[in-house]
């Protein structure tokens, strides 16, 4: 919700918010957006619209007040779609890696001179929040599979990092979930899909348009000559119509090499210069709660990581062994 509030506010529209714990909205307060503690029906008074997340129950008192007043209620996923409509959109989808890849793509495109607006699900230190407001003509957004939110978007370029069973309460079956990824991706002019993942492969095989695959030792964006060290990772990456480049990262883990390969693919698909994008990726420091080093106690490094799916936990452990 924070990025959408920030963008609407930047467009000159008055925005207010509320949360049981407004500490997570400090970036909005810093932008001059009032954020109240707790919920109250009076918050809706005088509003033209109320924006809610899928987590808000239908019997929420503020929703009831909005209905009584005839105030338009907009789901977060619908507002996102309305904000980016008519612009070029890079939609980053997948069970894992969306937040990091979205941030990488935004930073790479910014360095390449395209000035995108980036909307991500984690806090980025350099952004002082989870939105980077740039040009309204190009958006880089997370295309979340939860609540089938990705189906609200019509991307110019779609990234499918991987597809594994998750949020099945929103779909009912793995087949239905994979079908949603197909419907999302088939709207794009170019799709960039992870070939190391069986689910993403199944999705890519059902697409008729231009698909660039990325993976270890294979695909249009083939990752080879990977070298790990405590200070980062490097790899050679083949890029369609551009030849081979050397990718260097500070953030650990093979999963981040894949994320960065997808980001380079987006830069190439938008016909932007690769060298400044590669330099930006080499300086990329990561995203909050994605293998975030938060301190040291008794000689032990403390890391905060959002990983909660078995595949994500494994990737985090592997990254820790590297670092």
CA distances from 208 to 14, 44, 204, 211 (A): 43, 46, 9, 8
Q: What distance in Å separates the CA atoms of residue 145 and residue 54, rounded to the nearest whole number? A: 12
As a whole number of angstroms, the distance between CA 259 and CA 192 comes to: 11
**Catalytic pick from 62, 77, 99, 178?**
99
- Alpha-carbon separation of residue 82 from 69, 85, 131, 315 (angstroms): 23, 5, 17, 35
DSSP-derived 3-state class of residue 255? helix
Q: Let me know if 178 is a catalytic residue.
A: no
Q: Is 195 helix (H, G, I), strand (E, B) or coil?
A: coil
Catalytic residue among 50, 77, 98, 145: 98
Q: CA-to-CA distance for 61 and 232, rounded, in angstroms?
A: 49
The answer to whether residue 99 is catalytic is: yes
- Around Cβ 1, how many Cβ atoms within 10 Å? 17
Look up 77 and say whether it is catalytic: no
Alpha carbon 78 to chain centroid, angstroms: 16
Calpha distance 178→171 (Å, rounded):
9
Instruction: Name the catalytic one among 107, 142, 152, 178.
Output: 142
- B/e letters for 151-190, b = 16+ CB within 10 Å, e = fewer, are bbbebbbbbbbbbbebeeeebeeeeebbebbbebbebbeb
**Nearest-angstrom CA–CA distance, 117 and 217:** 32
Enumerate the active-site residues.
98-99, 142
């Amino acid at each position: 919700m924070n990025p959408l509030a920030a963008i609407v506010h930047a467009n000159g529209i008055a925005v207010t918010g509320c949360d049981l714990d407004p500490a997570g909205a400090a970036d909005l307060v810093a932008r001059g957006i009032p954020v109240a503690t707790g919920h109250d029906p009076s918050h809706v008074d005088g509003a033209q619209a109320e924006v809610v997340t899928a987590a808000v129950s239908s019997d929420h008192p503020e929703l009831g007040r909005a209905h009584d007043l005839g105030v338009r209620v907009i789901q977060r996923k619908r507002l996102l779609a309305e904000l980016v409509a008519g612009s070029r959109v890079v939609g980053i989808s997948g069970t894992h890696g969306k937040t990091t890849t979205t941030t990488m793509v935004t930073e790479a495109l910014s360095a390449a001179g395209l000035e995108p607006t980036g909307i991500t699900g984690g806090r980025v230190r350099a952004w002082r929040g989870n939105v980077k407001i740039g040009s309204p003509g190009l958006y880089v957004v997370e295309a979340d599979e939860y609540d089938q939110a990705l189906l609200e978007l019509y991307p110019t370029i779609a990234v499918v990092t991987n597809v594994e069973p998750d949020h099945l309460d929103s779909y009912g079956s793995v087949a239905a979930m994979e079908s949603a990824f197909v419907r999302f991706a088939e709207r794009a002019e170019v799709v960039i899909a992870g070939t190391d993942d069986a689910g993403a492969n199944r999705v890519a095989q059902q697409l008729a348009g231009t698909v660039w695959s990325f993976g270890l030792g294979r695909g249009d964006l083939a990752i080879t000559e990977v070298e790990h060290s405590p200070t980062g990772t490097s790899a050679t990456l083949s890029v369609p119509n551009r030849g081979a480049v050397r990718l260097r990262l500070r953030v650990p883990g093979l999963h981040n090499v894949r994320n960065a390969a997808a980001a380079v693919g987006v830069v190439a698909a938008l016909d932007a210069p690769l060298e400044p994008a590669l330099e930006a990726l080499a300086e990329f420091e990561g995203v909050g709660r994605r293998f975030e080093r938060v301190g040291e106690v008794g000689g032990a490094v403390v890391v905060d990581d959002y990983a909660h799916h078995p595949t994500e936990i494994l990737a985090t452990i592997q990254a820790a062994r590297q670092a």
